[in-house]
Amino acid sequence: MKKTVLLLSLVVALMILPFFISHGGEYGGSDDQAEGQILAIDPHYKPWFAPLYEPASGEIESLLFTLQGSLGTAVIFYILGYYRGRRGDHAGD
């Protein structure tokens, strides 16, 4: 019982602690960092192509990225479940 309470307390602390940590800056992804490094190496660099769609804000960009990952995960697990069902392996049997 004591071990369970300790582990549960640690999980709650790990969930709450990030809200109190201040990083002092705006979040930027690896794309922004890569662009900065490329421009530092070669200020005259011109990209090979332009984006087809530029989201209006970072929040919309994050939403679209999350949706893309969720749809990809759904497809992968659907295929895995489909083939497992065809094989006849059922966990409850």
Where helices occur in the chain by DSSP H, the ranges are 2-16, 30-41, 58-87
Task: Please report whether residue 62 resides in a domain.
Answer: yes
Q: Is residue 25 part of a domain?
A: no
Q: pLDDT digits over 72-83, tens only?
A: 999 999 999 999
The per-residue pLDDT of the chain, averaged, comes to 86
Residue-number span of the structural domain to which 83 is assigned: 57-93
**84 falls within a domain:** yes
Q: Is residue 52 situated within a structural domain?
A: no
Residue 16 belongs to a domain = no
Specify the number of domains making up the chain: 1
pLDDT at residue 59, as a whole number:
85
Q: Give the pLDDT of residue 9.
A: 95
Residue 70 pLDDT: 96
**pLDDT tens digits, one per residue of 11-52:** 999 999 888 876 666 666 777 788 889 999 998 988 888 888
Give domain status of residue 76, yes or no. Answer: yes
φ and ψ of 23, to 5 deg: -95, -10
Q: What local confidence, expressed as pLDDT, does residue 35 receive?
A: 84
Domain-embedded: residue 67: yes
